[in-house]
Structure 1
Amino acid sequence: MLSKLLRAGVLGAVTVVATSPLGHGALAAASDYRFELAEARPAGPGKTDVTLRLVRTSDGRPVPDAVIFQTRADMAPAGMPTMAGNVAPQAGQQPGTYRFQVDTGMAGGWALTLAAKVQGEPETVRATVTFNAAR
């Protein structure tokens, strides 16, 4: 009898997951998403507009409405990790794109590190995207 109840409980759990309204993304991990550099362009003296695209790795589709809750910019790629710049979020131009204005006091290689929550996913997506700031 206990065996039948356990089997019923396991099958019930599988049914609940399979019919979850969250669909495919409900079982995804943070590693199932990645941020890609879409564009980095000068935005005035000492500033760079950086646009990132968040995509699902399985199909390359953009992921809109992620909540970016942590950002940091520094010159670690140029060997100066203590040279940091302020990061200000801007409005994205297309679904799945996330734009930031970064105070890049000098030209060279920069890294934008961020943490984001994708709706319906329990894990935090963390990424570091490198870009070049021009004068």
Structure 2
Amino acid sequence: MSTFISRGLAGSLLVLGLFAAPTAARAAIGDYEFKLVSEQAKKGQTVVDVRLIHKPHAKPVPDAVVFAMRLDMAPDDMEAMTGAIEQVESSEPGVYRFRVALTDEGRWRISLAAKVQGEAETLQGRLVLKATP
């Protein structure tokens, strides 16, 4: 009888371990966040700074690889209205710079995807920037 209980307990622990491992990995990427340095910018061609932070320590995260970027007016219900966005060099660790074309006044969404060093999952962020006259 004790052998049956031991095997049952070992099997249960194995199953719990299989389900717990992915959850722990997902929680780690949630420790990171993109934040706009300024939530407003002038309409037209401009440079926008985005800070990547490790939330538990509120420290900047350098050396992430941003591999997907999109700029659109989804916050104003115009997702099809897109603008040009390209990453440019930044001299400040943990700050990622983007040259954007804000063709109209209103709210623009910047969507980013990045790989953070040491994390298996992809960090995704959606930021809202207000274009002013």
Asked if Structure 1 and Structure 2 have the same fold, meaning a TM-score greater than 0.5 normalized by the shorter chain, the answer is yes
Partner of 2:89: 91
Asked whether the equivalents of residues 111 and 128 of structure 1 are also in contact (C-alpha less than 8 Å), the reply is yes
The amino acid that maps onto 1:30 is I
- Provide the secondary structure at the position in 2 that maps to 1:29: helix
Larger-gyration structure (1/2): 2
What is the Cα deviation at residue 28 of structure 1? Answer: 6.4
Partner of 1:117: 115
In 1, Cα distance between equivalents of 2:114 and 2:131: 23
Query: What is the alpha-carbon root mean square deviation over aligned residues?
Result: 2.0
Structure 1 stretches of 4+ with a deviation exceeding 2 A read: 39-42
Gaps of 5+ in 1: 1-25
1:75 alignment partner, one of 55, 70, 73? 73
Asked whether the equivalents of residues 67 and 117 of structure 1 are also in contact (C-alpha less than 8 Å), the reply is yes
Q: After TM superposition, list the pairs within 5 Å mapping 1:50-65 onto structure 2.
A: 50-65=48-63
What is the Cα deviation at residue 27 of structure 1? Answer: 9.3
Judged with a 3 Å threshold, the aligned counterparts in structure 2 of structure 1 residues 27 and 112 are, in CA distance, closer, same or farther, namely closer
The amino acid that maps onto 1:41 is A
- Provide the secondary structure at the position in 2 that maps to 1:77: helix
What is the Cα deviation at residue 66 of structure 1? Answer: 0.4
Gaps of 5+ in 2: 1-24
In 2, Cα distance between equivalents of 1:122 and 1:101: 28
What is the Cα deviation at residue 93 of structure 1? Answer: 3.3
Partner of 1:101: 99
Please, what TM-score do these two structures have when normalized by structure 2? 0.75
Asked whether the equivalents of residues 41 and 133 of structure 1 are also in contact (C-alpha less than 8 Å), the reply is yes
Confirm or deny that 1:37 pairs with 2:36: yes
Judged with a 3 Å threshold, the aligned counterparts in structure 2 of structure 1 residues 132 and 93 are, in CA distance, closer, same or farther, namely farther
In 2, Cα distance between equivalents of 1:62 and 1:124: 17
Judged with a 3 Å threshold, the aligned counterparts in structure 2 of structure 1 residues 29 and 107 are, in CA distance, closer, same or farther, namely same
In 1, Cα distance between equivalents of 2:28 and 2:92: 24
Asked whether the equivalents of residues 41 and 129 of structure 2 are also in contact (C-alpha less than 8 Å), the reply is no
Asked whether the equivalents of residues 28 and 121 of structure 1 are also in contact (C-alpha less than 8 Å), the reply is no
The size of the alignment, in residue pairs, is: 109
